[in-house]
C-alpha cells in the first residue's frame, strides 16, 4: 500500500476501535503522519526499541509511520556520541493522540495552545480542524522546534511555533479556550490556569512521582484562579523537562551502612504487586505525592527503596519470589512502607477504582487528588 492507502487504513482502524470521532476523522485522514517523522525512527516491536531508516528500509519505515504505535524520534535530549539511554521526544501512538483530542473538545473558533510540539503532527491536526491562526505550539528543544516548523510548512500548515519553556505557557496569545499538553507533568503549571479563559479546558498527561500515569481533563473555574476535573484514561508520556526529578542520593538518607538505625518489621504485601500494576502505582502515587522509589535486584528478587522528597525518611522492602512475607526496614519520622501499604489497601477496599474515578483540583496553593468527588481528597 502507498502512504495514502496506509493512512486510510489507519483511520478505519481508529474508527473501528472507537477512538477516532467523526469531528476529528477528516483531519486524521488529511494530515500525512509520515511527513512529520525523521529519516531514522525507533519503534518498540515486542523485543526492544528497533531502529528503522527510511533510506534503507522504505517499506518498513512507511508501514511503521501508519501503525498504531508510538515512535521515538530523539534520545537523551539530542546528545550524541554515546549509547542511547532515555527517549526524549516521540510521535505519540495515534490512538492516544485522537483520544486526547476528543478529551480536549476543541471546536472551530477556539484558540488552542499546545505544549510539547514534538514532531508537529498534533499541531497539524489542530490547525487542519481549527485553522492555523487559532493554534500556538511551544517546544523547549530548539532542534525539535526547527524540525517541526519545517515539517509543518512542508505539509502546508502554519500554526505559530515557539521555542520556549512550556511550563510558562505562551502568554502572547492568551487567553486560550483550550490547552493541551503532549508531555507529562508532575504538577499543572500556574501559568496555564492564568492563560486559560474561565470555563476553558486543560488536557494533560499526569505522571505522579511514585509511578503510573493518566490523562486529566480540567475545567478552569469561573474566577480563573483554579481548575478541577477527572482523569480520563491511562497514559505514559515523556516528562516536561522542567519537572524531571532525580532524587537525593541514598547517602543523604542513610549515612553509613544499611540498615542504619532502621526498625525491622514484616509485610504480607509483595511490593512487586504494586510495581506490576500501572493502576495500583497510580492510585498509591496520588495518595503519596512526595514519595518515590528505586528498585535494585538481588539474586532472584528485588529490594524496593522508598524515599520522601524532604529527605527525612526511607524504607526498604525485600521481594523474594516464593515467600509469603517480606522483610521491611524503616527509618525517619515517617514510616513510608506503612503509608504505601495503607494506600494500596485503601485502593483495594474501594473496589480497585479505575482512572475515571480519580480527579484533580488545582489552586494557587497547589494541587489535590481526590476519589469520586473533590470533597473526598486522598490526603
CATH of the domain at 264: 3.30.160.690
- Count up the domains in the chain and report the number: 2
For residue 202, tell me if it sits in a domain: yes
For residue 375, tell me if it sits in a domain: no
**What are the residues facing 176 on neighbouring strands?**
196
pLDDT value at position 47?
65
Q: How many CB atoms lie within 10 A of CB 298?
A: 10
Q: How many CB atoms lie within 10 A of CB 154?
A: 12
Looking at the structure, tell me whether residues 234 and 332 fall in a common domain.
no
* Nearest in space to 279 (alpha carbons), one of 194, 351, 184: 351
What are phi and psi for residue 342, nearest 5 degrees? -65, -40
Looking at the structure, tell me whether residues 61 and 190 fall in a common domain.
yes
Looking at the structure, tell me whether residues 233 and 173 fall in a common domain.
yes
Q: How many residues comprise the chain?
A: 379
CA distance 114 to 178: 9
pLDDT value at position 44?
85
What is the β-pairing status of strands 160-163 and 135-139? parallel
The sign one gets for the Cα dihedral 13, 184, 344, 370 is: negative
CA distance 61 to 44: 13
What is the β-pairing status of strands 263-267 and 326-331? antiparallel
CA distance 198 to 220: 5
The whole domain housing 269 covers: 250-349
Q: Is the separation of the CB atoms in 254 and 316 below 8 Å?
A: no
Q: Is the separation of the CB atoms in 54 and 30 below 8 Å?
A: no
Q: Which residues of the chain have pLDDT under 50?
A: none
Give the pLDDT confidence of 29-75 residue by residue, as tens digits.
Answer: 999 999 999 999 999 876 666 899 999 999 999 999 999 999 999 99
CA distance 378 to 64: 41
CA distance 303 to 295: 6
Give the pLDDT confidence of 312-357 residue by residue, as tens digits.
Answer: 999 999 999 999 999 999 999 999 999 999 999 999 999 999 999 9
- Among the candidates 206, 241, 276, a domain finishes at 241
The cell for 37 is 517523522
Annotated active-site positions, please?
A: 92
Its pTM stands at 0.95
* Nearest in space to 79 (alpha carbons), one of 121, 147, 36, 141: 141
Amino acid at each position: 500500500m502507498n502512504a495514502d492507502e496506509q493512512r486510510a487504513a489507519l483511520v478505519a482502524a481508529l474508527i473501528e476501535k472507537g477512538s477516532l470521532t467523526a469531528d476529528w476523522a477528516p483531519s486524521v485522514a488529511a494530515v500525512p503522519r509520515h511527513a512529520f517523522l525523521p529519516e531514522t525512527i525507533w519503534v518498540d516491536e515486542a523485543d526492544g526499541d528497533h531502529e528503522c531508516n527510511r533510506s534503507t528500509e522504505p517499506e518498513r519505515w512507511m508501514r511503521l509511520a501508519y501503525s498504531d504505535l508510538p515512535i521515538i524520534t530523539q534520545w537523551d535530549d539530542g546528545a550524541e556520541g554515546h549509547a542511547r539511554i532515555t527517549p526524549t521526544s516521540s510521535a505519540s501512538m495515534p490512538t492516544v493522540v485522537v483520544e486526547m483530542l476528543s478529551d480536549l473538545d476543541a471546536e472551530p473558533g477556539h484558540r488552542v495552545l499546545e505544549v510539547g510540539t514534538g514532531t508537529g503532527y498534533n499541531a497539524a491536526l489542530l490547525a487542519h480542524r481549527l485553522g492555523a491562526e487559532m493554534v500556538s505550539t511551544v517546544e523547549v528543544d530548539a532542534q525539535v522546534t526547527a524540525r517541526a516548523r519545517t515539517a509543518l510548512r512542508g505539509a502546508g500548515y502554519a500554526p505559530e511555533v515557539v521555542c520556549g519553556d512550556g511550563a510558562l505557557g505562551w502568554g502572547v496569545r492568551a487567553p486560550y479556550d483550550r490547552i493541551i499538553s503532549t508531555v507529562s507533568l508532575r504538577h499543572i503549571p500556574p501559568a496555564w490556569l492564568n492563560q486559560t479563559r474561565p470555563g476553558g479546558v486543560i488536557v494533560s498527561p499526569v505522571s505522579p512521582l511514585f509511578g503510573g500515569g493518566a490523562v486529566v481533563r480540567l475545567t478552569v473555574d469561573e474566577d480563573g484562579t483554579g481548575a478541577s476535573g477527572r482523569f480520563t484514561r491511562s497514559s505514559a508520556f515523556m516528562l516536561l523537562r522542567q519537572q524531571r526529578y532525580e532524587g537525593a542520593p541514598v547517602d543523604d538518607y542513610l549515612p553509613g551502612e544499611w540498615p542504619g538505625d532502621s526498625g525491622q518489621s514484616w509485610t504480607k504485601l509483595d511490593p512487586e504487586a504494586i510495581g506490576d500494576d500501572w493502576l495500583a502505582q497510580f492510585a498509591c502515587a496520588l495518595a503519596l505525592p512526595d514519595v518515590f522509589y528505586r528498585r535494585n535486584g538481588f539474586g532472584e528478587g528485588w529490594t524496593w527503596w522508598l524515599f520522601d522528597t524532604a529527605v527525612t525518611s526511607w524504607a526498604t522492602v525485600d521481594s523474594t519470589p516464593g515467600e509469603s512475607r517480606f522483610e521491611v526496614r524503616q527509618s525517619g519520622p515517617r514510616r513510608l512502607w506503612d503509608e504505601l501499604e495503607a494506600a494500596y489497601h485503601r485502593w483495594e477496599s474501594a473496589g480497585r477504582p479505575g482512572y475515571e474515578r480519580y480527579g484533580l483540583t488545582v489552586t494557587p496553593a497547589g494541587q489535590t487528588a481526590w476519589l469520586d468527588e473533590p470533597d473526598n481528597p486522598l490526603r
